[in-house]
Copies of this chain bind each other. A is one copy, B any other.
Amino acid sequence: MRKPLISLTALLALTAPAAAQDETPAPSPNQIVAEAAASEWVGIAPEDLLVMTLAPAENGSERRVIIQLMPAPFSQSWVQNIRTFARSGWFDDITVNRVQDNYVVQWGDANYDNPESKGEPKALPDALVATDEADYTVSGEAIGLSTLLADSERDLALDADTYIASDDRTAAVIIANGLVDSYAQLSLFHAGWPLASDIGSEGADPRVWPIHCYGMVGVGRNMSPDAGTGAELYTVIGHAPRHLDRNIALAGRIVEGIEHLSSLPRGKGQLGFYEDEARRVPILTVRVASDLPASERPAFEYLSTDGEAFALYADARANRRDPFFNVPAGGADVCNIPVPVRRAG
């Protein structure tokens, strides 16, 4: 039996009856997010934002992609390296080299590890730190997972299947906060990120890890035990390839401008690499937002995943009651509840 994990804050927020009793149409997930109190939004540190500027599109329009780096305790060696690459200018003039439909867009130094390239690979910055595949996951204790779980078990004593079969708000919130997942004992949201855990596995030292949802940014690597430096990055542009979880480091997610990557022409080579070098898309610069002048510094915030609005939003994603829908699903997978992120201020 999978163990439920629920935010108690979220649960307490749900004592109000569902909206179905009156004539007001149930709000859509987007409406719930739009109406969330300002206090439910959490600012993202400029140190955790990268501004990646691609060469302009053919029609001359700007193409800018904003990446949020993962916070501690996740993937911090790769995150540190990525800041080093950005600050040393190493990322400037690399290219998007691979666009594989329903999978990933990948960018890096096209001359690296490429027997067909004529150029020399760039020398890596001196200040890189070592990375270790053991850090694809972290201890559940690092995010207080066992305490959260014990609280939810004590207070709720849930029979998971009853809740899956029912169609009420609480069920959906539980599902959104950690229940039915095809890839792990548990999936959940913590500090604004989608995660999974093996905490339900018998005898295991519980681990937690970030997961490959649409728009997540991962670190390319060679064969194990290589874990990648952070020089080569990719983002997910299709159905969540969750089989990559725990096999590659995830270092962040795209919070704006993913369409500049997801709508690129697909590569015709193996794995979607561009066979024609001319198709590669130049990346002009990558900057840490905190290094930019205040006037150019983007500001973003995410909807707290511990709050009332997120609980309602997750519930609405799992049980669409807005007028277009006939049948609420009664559940959702963790990657189909994207954490809302928006421009701040």
Chain A residues packing against B (C-beta within 8 Å): 1, 99, 101-102, 133, 136, 161, 165, 175, 180-183, 185, 201-202, 213-215, 223-224, 237-243, 245-247, 258-259, 262-266, 317-318, 320, 323-333, 335-336, 338
Q: Offer 24 A-B interface pairs, CB within 8 angstroms, sorted by A.
A: A1-B161, A102-B214, A102-B215, A133-B326, A136-B326, A165-B185, A180-B181, A180-B182, A182-B333, A183-B329, A183-B331, A213-B239, A238-B238, A240-B336, A242-B332, A242-B333, A243-B317, A243-B325, A243-B328, A243-B332, A246-B327, A247-B320, A247-B327, A263-B266
Chain B residue nearest to A201 (CB atoms) is: B165
Chain B residue nearest to A260 (CB atoms) is: B266
Contacts A183-B329, A224-B326 known; 16 new A-B pairs at CB < 8 A: A1-B161, A102-B338, A165-B185, A180-B180, A181-B182, A182-B331, A182-B332, A183-B332, A214-B238, A240-B336, A243-B328, A243-B329, A245-B329, A262-B262, A263-B265, A333-B333
A interface majority secondary structure: loop
User: With a CB–CB cut-off of 8 A, which chain B residues contact A161?
Assistant: 1
Chain B residue nearest to A327 (CB atoms) is: B246
Chain B residue nearest to A160 (CB atoms) is: B1
Copies in the complex: 2
Contact present for B335 and A239 (CB under 8 Å): yes
User: With a CB–CB cut-off of 8 A, which chain B residues contact A318?
Assistant: 243
User: With a CB–CB cut-off of 8 A, which chain B residues contact A133?
Assistant: 326
Chain B residue nearest to A202 (CB atoms) is: B165
